[in-house]
Structure 1
Amino acid sequence: MNVKYKRILLKLSGEALMGDRSFGIDPAIVQSISLEIAEIVRSGVEVAIVVGGGNIFRGMQGAAAGMDRATADYIGMIATVMNALTLQDALEHLDDPIQTRVLTAIAMQEVAEPYIRRRAIRHLENKLVVIFGAGSGNPFFTTDTTAALRGAEINAEVIFKATRVDGIYDSDPKLNPDAKRYQHLTYDRVLADDLRVMDITAFTLCKENNIPIVVFDLCVPGNIRRAVMGESIGTYVGGSCEVN
């Protein structure tokens, strides 16, 4: 496999682990994602992952239900650790296991290592998959922001945002059948048109550190490999030129 990127940050939403379920984790989906990650790791790609927790608990929903926002966000951070450990277990129980480390921003020394930037980079250099749990360790920040922050800290070449949609559109494709999908956008165009690739804090971090973002559909088998190879899938955000 001829890969375009040597070190990537893969952002997985918690919802991506649900499959067709309305809540929780679908083991078959986790197995499928793990196999795709294993394929690119064996091709020499250094892989770091940030996983959300929305399939278990979302801080904003808890706050909307009357919880203290900070408390709700901390519960959401713990949910991301549950997903991180699930993904770790799946990768390490493949027929050809992939060694991983879960690093958390909130100390949970019995189940994971504390997040230390230099340790994370050393794990990546040693070809271990690094899974970041517990978000940034701070309430009021999303896991998108964590992905941008960790991507900058580990010097990732790109952030892959694997979602349930196949890119960024000029309007909601569920509501508008004529919605147009962009292939390539500049940072400035995203901001000017308020396209909501990520929350504004996350996106600004990517822009300031010149980290491109690729948004693609995780549900299509092989898309992680295609993204790493640099194939034109989903929507690419970055650079100065623009192709719609």
Structure 2
Amino acid sequence: MSQEAKYKRVVLKLSGEALAGKAGFGIDPEIIKSISEQIQEIVELNVEVAVVVGAGNIWRGKTGSEMGMDRATADYMGMLATVMNALAIQDSLENIGVDSRVQTSIEMRQVAEPYIRRRAIRHLEKKRVVIFAAGTGNPYFSTDTTAALRAAEIEADVILMAKNNVDGVYSADPMIDANATKYQEISYLDVLNEGLAVMDSTASSLCMDNNIPLIVFSFTEKGNIKRVVLGEQIGTIVRGK
């Protein structure tokens, strides 16, 4: 009996830190391979997959700003770092036979396509994985906001926020507070009101306004991305209403 996915088109949001593995910096080939294999599993379910990746494993604009660097310059450096991560994911996907395209918000035609909404949708319809890099192309916006913006633009059914250090949304940081409780479901309004560090406020507001659900879960257990896509209740679902 073939399994049927609950979602037809998804945006998979990966933090840069997730790609670093235990080293905490750079790109861990085993982590990239594991993510690629999990993406392949959902592509085989005929799910259209877009990926947005951060750059915390290489460079954080906020860190540069705190060091006294011009914030816009620091953010542009972060955007370039996301392209490095995107190319690594693309290479890993191609190695296991999954067609993919990298689209960047900052044009660099020698290494990737420029972001064009209609072209991205066409790639997805042809079951190619589209990896969105270079953030929104603007400083002061996070890759969480990029995920929300691209999900709205391509009319994704859901954003899958795959984490490597937490398995959902908690009332407090579970690494610090032993009494932190995990939510099965929560609204964006509650996330904003309670100051929960799920996404930044710009991204949360964008998702809320466009009624895009978000599922926060851990990808470290192999097969979890597929389980989420099939509709299993793992992690936390954040809803617009």
TM-score in terms of structure 2 length? 0.97
Structure 1: 5+ residue stretches without partners: none
The one-letter amino acid of 2:34's match is S
Q: Is structure 2 residue 31 aligned with structure 1 residue 29?
A: yes
Partner of 1:173: 174
2:11 is aligned with what amino acid? L
Deviates more, 1:187-196 or 1:212-221: 187-196
Paired residue type of 1:184:
E
Amino acid at match of 2:22: D
Question: What are the residue-to-residue correspondences of 1:8-87 with 2, within 5 Å?
Answer: 8-87=10-89
Deviation at residue 196 of structure 1 after TM alignment: 2.5
Matched, 1:160 2:153: no
Q: Counterpart of 1:172 in 2: which secondary structure?
A: coil
| Runs of 5+ consecutive residues of structure 2 not aligned to the other structure | none
Moved over 4 A (4+): none
- Give the deviation of 1:115 after TM superposition: 0.2
Q: Contact 1:16/1:218 (CA < 8 Å) preserved in 2?
A: no
For the residues of structure 2 that align with 1:71 and 1:148, how far apart are their CA atoms? 23
Matches within 5 A, 1:67-146: 67-94=69-96, 97-146=97-146
CA distance in 2, matches of 1:84, 1:199: 22
* Secondary structure class of the residue paired with 2:11: strand
1:195 matched to which residue of 2? 196
| Alignment size in residue pairs | 238
Cα deviation, residue 239, structure 1: 5.2
Cα displacement (A) at 1:192? 2.1
TM-score (norm 1): 0.96
State the Cα deviation string for residues 13-47 of structure 1 (Å, max 9, x = none).
01111111121000011001000000100110000
Query: How many percent of aligned residue pairs carry the same amino acid?
Result: 61
CA–CA separation in structure 1 for the residues paired with 2:220 and 2:62: 25
Q: Deviations over 1:192-230 (max 9, x none)?
A: 222132000000000000000000112121110111011
Q: Deviations over 1:56-107 (max 9, x none)?
A: 001000111111100000000000000000000000001xx00000000000
1:155 deviation in Å? 0.2
